[in-house]
């Protein structure tokens, strides 16, 4: 028997009325996408060699900050479908009430678009696609740093 995915498990344990994904605000998608993206990055990092928590945090912050996520948008943009580009654009054009301390307003808006895309792909069950894009972005960042 095939094990169901994480999202399906959440939906089964915490049933709620289905909502059209297109009705979610881009900032709601970004709110969720921020957490999902950070969980992916932390999982990738923890699965490597055993390290102290402070080192794990430092490694995570390399990918989970507005400037890095804004750069990931540039890296993955050529790979996006029209639908994904539209979600990214909606997130980028949203009007957040705060701006990250770690980057410029432009970087923060791009990062918000990236997080909205991550939230959208997660909620639509396209986790493999989400992981493919995260991998491409992380590899792109790593290539720039080496």
Which sequence positions are flagged as catalytic?
34
Spatial contact of 120 and 34, defined as CB atoms under 8 Å apart: no
> Minimal CA–CA distance to 92: which of 114, 74, 72, 71?
114
Spatial contact of 91 and 115, defined as CB atoms under 8 Å apart: yes
Spatial contact of 141 and 68, defined as CB atoms under 8 Å apart: yes
Tokens of 114: 């990236």
Tokens of 71: 């750069």
- The CA-based dihedral angle spanning residues 8, 14, 15, 16, taken in that order and rounded to the nearest 10 degrees: -110
């Amino acid at each position: 028997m095939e094990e169901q995915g994480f999202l399906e498990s959440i939906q089964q344990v915490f049933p709620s009325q289905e909502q059209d994904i297109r009705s979610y605000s881009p900032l709601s998608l970004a709110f969720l996408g921020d957490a999902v993206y950070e969980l992916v990055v932390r999982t990738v990092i923890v699965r490597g060699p055993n390290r102290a928590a402070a080192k794990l945090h430092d490694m995570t912050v390399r990918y989970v900050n507005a400037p890095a996520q804004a750069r990931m948008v540039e890296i993955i943009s050529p790979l996006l479908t029209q639908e994904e580009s539209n979600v990214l654009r909606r997130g980028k054009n949203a009007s957040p009430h705060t701006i990250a301390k770690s980057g410029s307003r432009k970087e923060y808006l791009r990062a918000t678009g990236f997080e909205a895309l991550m939230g959208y792909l997660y909620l639509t069950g396209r986790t493999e696609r989400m992981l493919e894009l995260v991998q491409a972005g992380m590899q792109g960042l790593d290539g720039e740093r080496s």
